[in-house]
Amino acid sequence: MNTNEIDFYDINQDQFTFLVFDRSNVDTFMSRYEPLNYENATIKQDILKLTKINFDNRISSEYSSFIKNSKTTDTSDFNLAMNVIKATYDKNGEEYFPGSLNYLFFYNCLPEGFHSKWPQTISGDFRFNATFFAILRDKSEIIDKMIYGEIGYRDERIKPIFGEHIFNEISPDNAKQIKELIEKDRSFDDIRFKTDRDNFIYFLDKTINNQWRLILTDWN
């Protein structure tokens, strides 16, 4: 593709972003912790265990290319997580429970290669090049309809994790169709967003193979 044919913006799209979770880990989490409420003693017991964890922001070399697509965890993320978790056990702890539930979910359900991002929870999303995303939205009816909520899937079980955030899950079948579009349409061949293209296809492959759950979410 002639790189002069499009206006290229060397920034990441941040209005709509992506989260990934290990499918089997999510199933295990739901089996162990339902109902997801403050009265669940098992949840509170395991949330408290998170305070024993040391700060770690390492990303495995296998996933180093994703660093440009997502903010690395820092000590402020970790310290905030520890403060929220500890506050869950104070006098007014119930008001901090939703935040602590998020930390427990992300700690248990993120794919292994991104596990260090758990203290970021929803803010540890993945953002792709703005031009790549604009082309994706223009070319893919599936993505555009998901943004408007016309199609997609919202798992009621994990709704407490997202709170007021809009979320919409990409099914394996839809992921397959999106991948086929990206691979066939020359609009996606621009070398300037090759890494974004490859990384997004990696997410799609994991989704197609039922290993990961790929979720489109808004960023407020």
- CA 42 to CA 110: how far, in whole Å? 20
- CA 153 to CA 169: how far, in whole Å? 5
Place of tokens 């223009």: 138
Distance of CA 148 to the CA centre of its chain: 19
The answer to whether the pTM exceeds 0.85 is yes
Give the CA distances from residue 213 to residues 25, 76, 131, 154, in Å, rounded to whole numbers and listed in that order.
Answer: 10, 27, 24, 12
Long-range contacts of 199-202 (CB under 8 A, 24+ apart): 199/65, 199/66, 199/69, 199/126, 199/128, 200/128, 200/132, 200/136
Helix axes 97-109, 41-49, angle to 10 degrees: 70
Q: What is the pLDDT along the chain (220 residues), one digit of tens a residue?
A: 444 567 899 999 999 999 999 999 999 999 999 999 999 999 999 999 999 999 999 888 889 999 999 999 999 999 999 999 999 988 788 999 999 999 999 999 999 999 999 999 999 999 999 999 999 999 999 999 999 999 999 999 999 999 888 899 999 999 999 999 999 999 999 999 999 999 999 999 999 999 999 999 986 5
104: amino acid identity, one letter: L
pLDDT tens column, 39-58: 999 999 999 999 999 999 98
